[in-house]
């Protein structure tokens, strides 16, 4: 069975591990570059993207992550993970932050504003429902969430959502503040797929709806890298005892 | 939280929706969204800062959030007097300086300070015993706010009382501003030990147990079923070194608050960075040894067996 890696630098990696457990898939925590070799797909969880970028830098993870993404194995970024995977991110901290890239889109790091503007909504996801069944909507939990402003032609849009009224003004500056425009559309993209890359601005790992996780696993089955990854499976069985310290925090409840 | 196969006890009949949330609150401030941010902070370090420059330093070191204060707890201890909410102008400046979440402290029971902090737009309010309490009997009714709250606790009963009042995140109190981790360890062990004892308890005994620890029965039962607090739990109060931070994580906390420990040390930037790495790699002694090396002097610290040292943790129940 495929082994799913979850980047465990900071953030909601426990929640992703729990979500994988619920659908009977084995997840392993990834903190070091060499651990990426043993996994067939990778989830980059939510969290603080600046923190995760710093930690990835300290341990020289970026080259390994870029290689993983360009190698064609499935990668899914939620929230902070989406920012990691974007080719271009705006609204970052002073000095910017390093990105993994690979997903042809422009992301605004904190599009929906601060925690007071965090929200929950029902998203219309016909493409997800078509593949994984269930109803046409899914629960979207947006926590200080990013959003996708523009996508390239290869990128398939899986969900968008209306722009809330109380969202702060978003100014898109291209280059060194030369041209500025205000984001004026009334809907914004929040879930996309481009080949082996899946990205969501919201957090399916905080809900009991496991369709997004199944959707991601199905990408693995379709992926051209599958044949290769089968070879590495044999080495993964020895990893069971690893990364399981005692007193490991248990799962939080899912708040409905 | 209804019994939908997750094995979690239903609250108050548990029809549609989570009854922990006040039904009158706006839809965009559901408990899930409040806890959600705390979940995004898991595995991270929240640092006390008093200037925008310190906030930038914390962000560069990899802090997952900053706590905007006028004085760090060590200075509050040294200078004495009444400690209150920080100047909103300072909080705004710090908010402008960084992109990570900004928290701020309100006095216990001072719901107007909390209203002001909500209006300023902080991401989390810490109803904190480090500030001088404004109400010695009542905490803030945190269900009335859209901004989420973190509250301190010393044991399981106190933690669950705060959750029932609406806290979406819990931190064990420790003893802030001392640089001495002993109280933090005591409180984390107390909560974790209580949860372990509760897990093995007969269901019939939980009623009397809930009464004994003065906590709501439904939350006690939920904690028993989950085997952990139902919200994110950080450690605080006395963490001064990367080893202290990793100790808190190995004891089972979800993350760490570091107050005076960073900016009262010899080399704040390196220490901040080392503590961030220690929290991520908390179970890897090799990395802990590496990040603990050559990070300058730790804060001096206070011996807690001295009876003259005021105990902040005992300021609220």
pLDDT tens for A3-53 read 999 999 999 999 999 999 999 998 999 999 999 999 999 999 999 999 999
pLDDT of residue B106: 97
Q: Which whole number is the average pLDDT over B135-152?
A: 95
pLDDT of residue A252: 82
Give the nearest chain A residue to B37 (CA atoms). Answer: A143
Per the CB < 8 Å rule, is A93 touching B280? no
Ordered DSSP codes for A66-101 = HHHHHTT--EEEETHHHHHHEEEEES--TT------
Best mutation target, A9, A115, A117, to test chain B (most B CBs within 10 A): A115
Active-site residues of A, by number, are: 79, 203, 205
Per-residue pLDDT tens over the stretch A119-178? 999 999 999 999 998 889 999 999 999 999 999 999 999 999 998 776 666 665 554 444
Q: What angle is formed at CA B300 by the lines to CA B170 and CA B285, rounded to 5 degrees? A: 65
Asked if the C-beta of A118 comes within 8 angstroms of chain B's C-beta atoms, the answer is: yes
Partners of A248 on chain B (C-beta within 8 Å) are 252
Q: How far apart are CA B231 and CA A251, in angstroms?
A: 10
Ordered DSSP codes for A12-81 = THHHHHHHHHHTT--EEEE-SGGGGGG-SEEEE--S-HHHHHHHHHHTT-HHHHHHHHHTT--EEEETHH
Select the residue of A92, A243, A253 nearest B8 (Cβ to Cβ). Answer: A253
Asked if the C-beta of A120 comes within 8 angstroms of chain B's C-beta atoms, the answer is: yes
Examine the pLDDT at B11 and tell me if it is beyond 70: no
Per the CB < 8 Å rule, is A47 touching B44? yes
Per the CB < 8 Å rule, is A249 touching B101? no
Active-site residues of B, by number, are: 105
Asked if the C-beta of A167 comes within 8 angstroms of chain B's C-beta atoms, the answer is: no
Touching B: A residues 170-199, CB under 8 Å: none
pLDDT of residue A239: 39
Give which of B38, B84, B239, B235 is closest to B152, Cα–Cα.
B235
pLDDT of residue B5: 42
Partners of B2 on chain A (C-beta within 8 Å) are 256
Buried b (16+ CB within 10 A) or exposed e, A106-136: bbbbbbbbbbbbbbbbebbbebbeeebeeee
Per the CB < 8 Å rule, is B39 touching A9? no
Phi/psi-derived region of residue A172, left when phi > 0, alpha when psi is between -120 and 50, beta in every other case = beta
Select the residue of B36, B100, B281 nearest A141 (Cβ to Cβ). Answer: B36
Q: How far apart are CA B281 and CA B156, in angstroms?
A: 27
Q: How far apart are CA A74 and CA A68, in angstroms?
A: 9
Asked if the C-beta of A203 comes within 8 angstroms of chain B's C-beta atoms, the answer is: yes
Per-residue pLDDT tens over the stretch B72-93? 999 998 998 999 999 999 999 9
Q: Which whole number is the average pLDDT over B7-28?
A: 43
B45, B255 Cβ separation under 8 angstroms: yes
Select the residue of B31, B40, B121 nearest A48 (Cβ to Cβ). Answer: B40
A185 pLDDT tier (thresholds 50, 70, 90): confident
Partners of A61 on chain B (C-beta within 8 Å) are none
Asked if the C-beta of A123 comes within 8 angstroms of chain B's C-beta atoms, the answer is: no
Q: What angle is formed at CA B245 by the lines to CA B306 and CA B317, rounded to 5 degrees? A: 55
Per-residue pLDDT tens over the stretch B170-196? 999 999 999 999 999 999 999 999 999
Looking at every residue in chain A, the average pLDDT score rounds to 84
Distance from CA of B34 to the nearest CA of A (A): 8
Distance from CA of B100 to the nearest CA of A (A): 7
Rg (CA), chain B: 19
Q: How far apart are CA B174 and CA B185, in angstroms?
A: 7
Examine the pLDDT at A231 and tell me if it is beyond 50: no
Looking at every residue in chain B, the average pLDDT score rounds to 90
Cβ-based neighbours of A164, under 8 Å, separated by 6 or more = A112, A117, A119, B28
pLDDT of residue A234: 40
Distance from CA of B80 to the nearest CA of A (A): 33
pLDDT of residue A249: 52
Cβ-based neighbours of A69, under 8 Å, separated by 6 or more = A75, A85, A100, A101, A102, A196, A197
Examine the pLDDT at B197 and tell me if it is beyond 90: yes
B317 pLDDT tier (thresholds 50, 70, 90): confident
Looking at chain B, the whole-number percentage of residues with pLDDT higher than 90 is 80
Distance from CA of B244 to the nearest CA of A (A): 16
Best mutation target, B13, B41, B43, B248, to test chain A (most A CBs within 10 A): B43
Looking at chain A, the whole-number percentage of residues with pLDDT higher than 70 is 81
**pTM, full prediction:** 0.88
pLDDT of residue A98: 87
Give the nearest chain A residue to B15 (CA atoms). Answer: A256
Partners of A251 on chain B (C-beta within 8 Å) are 226, 228
pLDDT of residue B300: 81
Number of A–B residue contacts, CB under 8 Å: 173
pLDDT of residue A171: 61
Q: What is the DSSP letter of B274?
A: H
Select the residue of B20, B59, B147 nearest A116 (Cβ to Cβ). Answer: B147
B18 pLDDT tier (thresholds 50, 70, 90): very low
Per the CB < 8 Å rule, is B2 touching A117? no
Q: Which whole number is the average pLDDT over B256-274?
A: 93
Distance of alpha carbon B43 from the chain centroid: 13
pLDDT of residue A224: 53
């Amino acid at each position: 069975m495929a082994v799913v890696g979850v980047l465990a630098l900071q953030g909601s990696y426990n929640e992703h591990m729990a979500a994988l457990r619920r659908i009977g898939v084995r997840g392993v925590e990834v903190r070091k570059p060499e651990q990426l070799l043993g996994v067939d797909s990778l989830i980059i969880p939510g969290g603080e993207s600046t923190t995760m970028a710093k930690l990835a830098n300290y341990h020289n993870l970026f080259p390994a992550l870029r290689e993983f993404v360009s190698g064609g194995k499935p990668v899914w970024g939620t929230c902070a993970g989406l920012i990691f995977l974007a080719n271009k991110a705006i609204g970052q901290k002073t000095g910017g932050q390093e990105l993994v890239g690979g997903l042809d889109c422009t992301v605004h790091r904190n599009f929906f504003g601060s925690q007071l503007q965090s929200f929950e909504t029902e998203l219309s996801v016909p493409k997800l429902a078509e593949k994984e069944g269930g109803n046409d909507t899914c629960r979207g939990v947006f926590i200080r969430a990013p959003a996708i402003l523009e996508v390239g032609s290869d990128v398939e849009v899986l969900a968008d959502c209306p722009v809330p009224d109380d969202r702060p003004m978003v100014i898109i500056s291209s280059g060194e503040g030369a041209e500025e425009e205000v984001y004026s559309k009334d809907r914004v993209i929040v879930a996309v797929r481009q080949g082996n890359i899946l990205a969501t601005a919201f957090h399916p790992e905080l809900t009991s709806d496991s369709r997004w996780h199944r959707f991601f696993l199905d990408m693995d089955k379709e992926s051209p890298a599958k044949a290769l990854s089968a070879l590495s499976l044999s080495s993964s069985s020895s990893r069971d005892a690893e990364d399981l310290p005692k007193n490991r925090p248990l799962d939080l409840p899912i708040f409905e | 939280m209804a019994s939908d196969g997750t094995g979690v006890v239903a609250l108050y009949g548990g029809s549609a929706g989570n009854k922990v949330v006040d039904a009158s609150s706006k839809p965009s401030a559901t408990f899930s969204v409040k806890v959600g941010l705390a979940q995004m902070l898991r595995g991270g370090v929240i640092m006390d800062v008093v200037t925008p420059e310190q906030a930038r330093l914390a962000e560069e070191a990899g802090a997952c959030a900053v706590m905007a204060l006028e004085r760090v707890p060590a200075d509050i201890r040294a200078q004495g007097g009444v400690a209150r909410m920080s100047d909103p102008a300072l909080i705004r400046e710090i908010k402008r300086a960084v992109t990570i979440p900004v928290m701020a402290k309100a006095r216990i029971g001072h719901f107007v300070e909390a209203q002001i902090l909500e209006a300023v737009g902080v991401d989390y309010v810490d109803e904190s015993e480090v500030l001088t309490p404004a109400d010695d009997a009542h905490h803030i009714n945190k269900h009335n706010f859209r901004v989420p709250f973190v509250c301190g606790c010393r044991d399981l009963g106190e933690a669950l009382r705060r959750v029932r009042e609406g806290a979406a995140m819990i931190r064990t109190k420790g003893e802030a501003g001392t640089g001495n981790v002993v109280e933090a360890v005591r409180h984390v062990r107390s909560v974790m030990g209580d949860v372990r004892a509760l897990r093995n308890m007969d269901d019939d005994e939980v009623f009397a147990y809930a009464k004994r620890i003065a906590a709501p029965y439904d939350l006690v039962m939920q904690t028993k079923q989950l085997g952990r607090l139902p919200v994110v739990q950080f450690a605080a109060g006395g963490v001064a070194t990367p080893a202290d931070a990793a100790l808190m994580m190995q004891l089972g906390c979800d993350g760490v608050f570091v107050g005076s420990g960073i900016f009262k040390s010899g080399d704040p930037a390196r220490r901040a960075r080392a503590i961030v790495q220690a929290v991520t790699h908390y179970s890897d002694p090799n990395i802990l040894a590496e990040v603990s090396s050559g990070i300058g002097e730790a804060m001096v610290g206070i011996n807690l067996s001295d009876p003259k040292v005021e105990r902040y943790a005992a300021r609220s129940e």
